[in-house]
Amino acid sequence: MGGIPAVSDDTTIRVSEIFGPTIQGEGALIGVPTVFVRTGGCDYRCSWCDSMHAVDSAYRDTWKPMAAEDVMAEVEALSGGTPLTVTLSGGNPAIQPFGPLIEMGHARGYRFGLETQGSVARDWFADLDMLVLSPKPPSSDMQVDWEIFQACVEAGQGADTVLKIVVFDEADYLWARDVAARYPDLPVYLQPGNHTPPPPEDDSALVDQEGVDARMRWLVDRVIADNWYEARVLPQLHVMLWGNKRGV
């Protein structure tokens, strides 16, 4: 697991990067224009994490403590003052104090989605417009604490909640089926994993897109062979377009 302390109690948000507008490239809101607020620090360390610059404490000096007002001002500047969906990601954005930012943004017409693994539950999940819970499959080498995960689902009552599960192989796929069976009321999105070189390389050409495409085709076949018609299988659209480039 990662080396970052649990929940931060003050009101300062530790920001790795704010970028956009771009399109949401994954899951239920795929294609929707959005600004990303990516926070620094994660309590996990997935073997295949594609955002290590927001996880590894070697990058800590690139993470900037920011007040909610300043984050909001940057989001408004990037969006030209026209409200849109803000995606909170990371790292694990659940360890940051996002309640005040969400309240401030809602008052100005902005909407908020959160991407998290479901390892830290927060009261402010209920204020989100979209809660994306992405429990980590065996290939990540992480272990889900299902009690905490359940607390995240409960905390998010009031938000639209979905499951988004990364699948690299058959073991991940079977695990995803089990998780979906535990949460029959939550829509489930399956996303083929991409193999990314470790930072600091940040070259789109380094993504094995053919490998991702082959995995995507296998995943579609797998879902259809099982008559698993509730599943939605989607690629990472931004990775198809721009590789694992930062800031898109």
Ligand X SMILES: C[S@@+](CC[C@H](N)C(=O)[O-])C[C@H]1O[C@@H](n2cnc3c(N)ncnc32)[C@H](O)[C@@H]1O
Q: Residues annotated as binding site for [4Fe-4S] cluster?
A: 42, 46, 49
Query: CA 204, CA 168: separation in Å to the nearest integer?
Result: 20
Question: Which residues are documented as binding site for Mg(2+)?
Answer: 51
Among residues 45, 232, 238, 246, the one that binds ligand SF4 under rule CB under 6 A? 45
Q: Which does 196 bind (CB under 5 to 8 A by kind): ligand X, ligand SF4, ligand 2KA, none?
A: ligand X
Q: Which of 81, 83, 72 is nearest to 109 (CA)?
A: 83
Could you say whether residue 117 binds ligand SF4 (CB under 6 A)? yes
Match 């408004």 to its residue by tokens: 76
Could you say whether residue 48 binds ligand X (CB under 6 A)? yes
Of 49-57, 62-70, 120-128, 199-207, the segment contacting ligand X by CB under 6 A is 49-57
Answer for the pair 79, 36: CB distance below 8 angstroms, yes or no: no
Residue closer to ligand X (CB basis): 21 or 90: 90
Sorted by sequence, the CB contacts under 8 Å of residue 157 that are 6+ apart come out as: 126
Residue closer to ligand 2KA (CB basis): 25 or 135: 25
Could you say whether residue 16 binds ligand X (CB under 6 A)? no
Query: CA 169, CA 125: separation in Å to the nearest integer?
Result: 31
How many chain residues interact with ligand X (CB under 6 A)? 19
Could you say whether residue 116 binds ligand X (CB under 6 A)? yes
Could you say whether residue 90 binds ligand X (CB under 6 A)? yes
Residue 106: C-alpha distances to residues 41, 100, 127, 154 (Å): 25, 10, 9, 22
